[in-house]
């Protein structure tokens, strides 16, 4: 269940009461139904301030933009909006947070695009060295680029510590254009090159994999092949902070109950 704010809890309490009610009655219903857990020493005062700030007519200088309550001459409150309305201060908080998230997603997409463009700009040999550094930063050990033609389809090899054991791993790195997808024969050939000597294979490409290649990557009784395309490679770099920096921007929201 979604955690309610003080204002949302007050609205819910009023709907449950079914009539105009005083702050003490609203507070009692909130506590009865456990709609909100107060942390202030004087929760009734906090509740009164929050409700009055959201009243259609209020003397508070810091009144809320969104009006949710009506107050009668007997100091009783009733909801200004229907129960079906979403009680969220979208004007002040939700819309702003949505904008921040939208901008953050755009920045992430832009960063992914820049990473992929950079990978395409590398020549095949530089891409192999990039993959070695990437795997080292991810946690693989003793990674080294093989000499051309010496190990078949193996471009990078090393080890990965899993629990108390170490797996011998091999990677093939292909800087292909987007239109040149890695197919099932590519995966089968790579698996044939590493079977008997390596416990895991990693196929890294700037392009993508056909569905058949994805289907054959994990087969019972065969060496598993981890598939990493350009998009996935960029996302891993962002998630793990590999070659990517992060700016932490604080997001503030005032909650009177915590004062």
Distance CA 43, CA 39 (A): 7
Give the pLDDT score at 84. Answer: 43
Give the pLDDT score at 184. Answer: 94
pTM of the model: 0.59
Residue from 8, 2, 11 nearest 89 by CA: 8
- In sequence order, the 6+-apart residues with CB closer than 8 A to the CB of 251 are 97, 100
- In sequence order, the 6+-apart residues with CB closer than 8 A to the CB of 20 are 70, 72, 74, 76, 77, 78
**31-80 confidence digits (pLDDT tens):** 999 999 888 888 999 999 889 888 887 666 567 777 888 889 898 999 88
Residue from 121, 182, 176, 127 nearest 155 by CA: 127
**195-221 confidence digits (pLDDT tens):** 999 999 999 999 999 999 999 999 888
CATH architecture of 114-240: 3-Layer(aba) Sandwich (3.40)
Q: What's the distance, CA 235 to chain centroid?
A: 11
Helix 6-17 × helix 23-33 angle, to 10°: 100
CATH 3.40.1350.10 location in the chain: 114-240
* Residues 184 and 208 sit within 8 Å (Cβ to Cβ): no
SS3 50: helix
**97-143 confidence digits (pLDDT tens):** 778 888 888 999 999 999 999 998 888 889 999 999 999 888 888 88
Give the pLDDT score at 25. Answer: 95
């Amino acid at each position: 269940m979604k955690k309610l704010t003080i204002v949302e809890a007050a609205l819910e309490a009023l709907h449950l009461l079914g009539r105009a009610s005083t702050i003490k009655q609203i507070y009692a219903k909130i506590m009865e139904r456990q709609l909100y857990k107060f942390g202030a020493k004087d929760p009734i005062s906090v509740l009164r301030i929050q409700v009055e700030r959201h009243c259609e007519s209020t003397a508070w200088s810091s009144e809320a933009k969104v009006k949710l309550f009506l107050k009668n001459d007997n100091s009783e409150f009733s909801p200004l909006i229907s129960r079906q309305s979403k009680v969220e201060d979208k004007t002040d908080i939700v819309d702003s947070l949505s904008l921040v998230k939208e901008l953050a997603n755009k920045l992430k997409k832009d960063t992914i695009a820049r990473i992929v463009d950079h990978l395409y700009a590398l020549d095949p040999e530089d891409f192999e060295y990039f993959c070695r550094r990437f795997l080292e930063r991810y946690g693989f050990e003793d990674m080294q680029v093989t000499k051309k033609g010496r190990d078949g389809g193996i471009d990078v090899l090393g080890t990965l510590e899993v629990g108390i054991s170490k797996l011998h791993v091999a990677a093939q790195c292909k800087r292909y254009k987007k239109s040149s997808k890695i197919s099932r024969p590519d995966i089968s050939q790579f698996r044939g090159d590493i079977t008997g000597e390596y416990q895991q294979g990693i196929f890294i490409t700037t392009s993508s994999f056909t569905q058949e290649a994805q289907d054959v990557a994990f087969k019972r009784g065969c060496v598993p092949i981890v598939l990493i395309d350009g998009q996935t490679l960029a996302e891993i770099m962002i998630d793990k902070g590999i070659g990517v920096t992060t700016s932490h921007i604080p997001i503030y929201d005032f909650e009177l109950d915590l004062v």
